Structure 1
Amino acid sequence: MLAVSATNGAVDAVTRALAVELAPLRVNAISPGTIDSGAYDALGERQKADLFATRAARNPAGRVGTPDDAARAVLYALTSTFTTGTTLAVDAGEPLV
């Protein structure tokens, strides 16, 4: 978890810094939570199902994300011309609990 936390913090800091340095170009990032994208397939069906059930039960949205959830965030970041320097959390509120 340390490596993930450090990486996410770095991405957020770089996103904000680049938004200032590259203005008026917009710079945004997407920070996904648990997304059923195939990244967890190596766990095997049983472990993956157990992990997803646990994560879904613990987050406010009550489910894991889909690639479509992440894609919608990307579309927002690309089309919202008044959004820059932002890391969009697409994580079902996982960090809140």
Structure 2
Amino acid sequence: MFGGSVTVVSAATARAAAPGTVTFAAVNGAIERIVPPLAAELSPVRVNAVAPGAIDTPWRSFLSDDAKETQFAAAAEGLPAKRIGRPDDVADAIRYLIGSTYVTGTILPVDGGFTVS
């Protein structure tokens, strides 16, 4: 029986020691820690999370175009993927988790390798 799917959004800051992100780390770490027990408690509903890294979204609209480009270029250089993520990257991961009926209790990094580099 298929019981449905819940997919929450965390962030790579839950698993990285990036200066200035302690509040994000705490909140996103809490989100990630509830995924496995919720998957067990809500079964057969599947519970998963995506954990994006740097994604080019309007969230950074407070930066000038030049500042954003400089910041993104520097960040991309340090990533194994060598680019900043796009909203479609996160949407694809969410679609995967929703459609994969044998995946539950998982946190899927969508961070270009940020948490492994």
For Structure 1 versus Structure 2, the TM-score category normalised by the shorter chain is over 0.9
Q: Which runs of 5+ in 2 are unaligned?
A: 1-20
The residue type equivalent to 1:39 in the other structure is: W
Deviation digits for residues 18-62 of structure 1, max 9, x if unmatched? 101101100011111001111112111111111100110000000
Structure 2 counterpart of 1:17? 37
* TM-score (norm. length: structure 1): 0.95
The residue type equivalent to 2:96 in the other structure is: Y
Tell me how far 1:12 sits from its aligned partner: 0.9
* Structure holding more helix per residue: 1
After TM superposition, what 4+ stretches of structure 1 lie above 3 angstroms from structure 2? none
* TM-score (norm. length: structure 2): 0.79
In the alignment of these two chains, the number of paired residues is 97
The residue type equivalent to 2:77 in the other structure is: A
Q: Which runs of 5+ in 1 are unaligned?
A: none
Q: How does 1:18-37 map to 2 (within 5 A)?
A: 18-37=38-57
- C-alpha separation in 2, matches of 1:44 and 1:16: 40
- C-alpha separation in 1, matches of 2:81 and 2:87: 16
- C-alpha separation in 1, matches of 2:37 and 2:104: 10
DSSP 3-state at the match of 1:94:
coil
DSSP 3-state at the match of 1:20:
helix
- C-alpha separation in 2, matches of 1:44 and 1:17: 42
Structure 1 vs Structure 2: percent identity of aligned residues?
42
Structure 1 counterpart of 2:66? 46
The residue type equivalent to 2:112 in the other structure is: A
Ranked by relative contact order (alpha carbons within 8 Å, sequence separation 6 or more), the top structure is: 1
